[in-house]
Amino acid sequence: MKILFVFAHPDKRSFNYSLLNAAIRRLEENGHTVKVSDLYRMKWKGIVDEDDFLNHEKGTRLKVVLSSTKAYEDDQLTEDVLTEQEKLNWADVVIFQFPLWWFTMPAILKGWFDRVFTSGYAYNIGEHNQKRAGDRYGEGVMAGKRAFCIITAGGREQHFSERGINGDINDILFPINHGMLFYPGFTVLPPVVIFRVDSESTEVYMQAEKEVLERMDNITEIKPISYRKQNFGDYKIPELTLKDGVEQPSNTHFDIHIIQD
């Protein structure tokens, strides 16, 4: 399989970088082809501005969605963005690896999504009518591809539990897994979350490497998160609200958007 890592950590001596190298070795040993977008090493531009749209008239008002659409349609996106879109088109599996900073991804990785997931490519595609609301949430440019996150956190697992002070890690990651990966059509696998990385103990690292390598070995067999697809009958259109009674009585909050076994 063709596997793309989108990696965001500033230090090549880090816990994350060691995990990345171990994962790449295992995937290549297993016969996969791997590419890496190492955003800090690439000095990735992490903000959207008028320079991203080569056909935008400098100094005029920038309406990002409209400018993004027109630049995509006219093949006027910058070379770095086009290169990342080509990597996505090439990949069968995309792995996003990053430390959890302030309950989300580092800004450089968020900037990668902002710039690469352009209008006309990752959103604002497909038919909009009384039965469909575009190709998204289970359909779209990434349909048929798998994606998941490998995330490191300094706190203990209990801190990110249902009753933990930080909130449930699955709730924290819902905007990423559902809103950024499922939205353009990825089949989303459960994340690999490594806790207590700030302890810097050999024991913690070895356990983390074991978990990551197990995922690399089973990358095609892992059961995905069963998010409800937008245009397949569970949601009212054009309201885009879940139909009454579709969820289980015990489901609340984000869980109503997941089909329970």
Q: CB atoms < 10 A from the CB of 63, how many?
A: 11
Domain boundaries, the chain: 2-224
Q: What is the pLDDT of residue 260?
A: 86
Angstrom distance (rounded) from CA 127 to CA 131: 9
Q: CB atoms < 10 A from the CB of 133, how many?
A: 18
What pTM value is reported for the model?
0.95
Residue spans of beta strands (DSSP E) within 170-243: 187-188, 192-194, 235-236, 241-242
C-beta of residue 38 within 8 angstroms of C-beta of residue 116: no
Q: What is the pLDDT of residue 123?
A: 96
Q: What is the pLDDT of residue 11?
A: 92
Q: What is the pLDDT of residue 198?
A: 84
DSSP 12: T
* pLDDT means over runs of 10, the chain (261 residues): 98 93 97 98 97 95 96 97 98 98 97 98 93 94 97 94 94 97 98 89 90 95 96 94 90 90 75
Q: What is the pLDDT of residue 251?
A: 81
Q: Which of 155, 61, 75, 173 is nearest to 118 (CA)?
A: 75
- Which phi and psi angles does 227 have, rounded to 5°? -65, 145
The CATH number given to 2-224 is 3.40.50.360
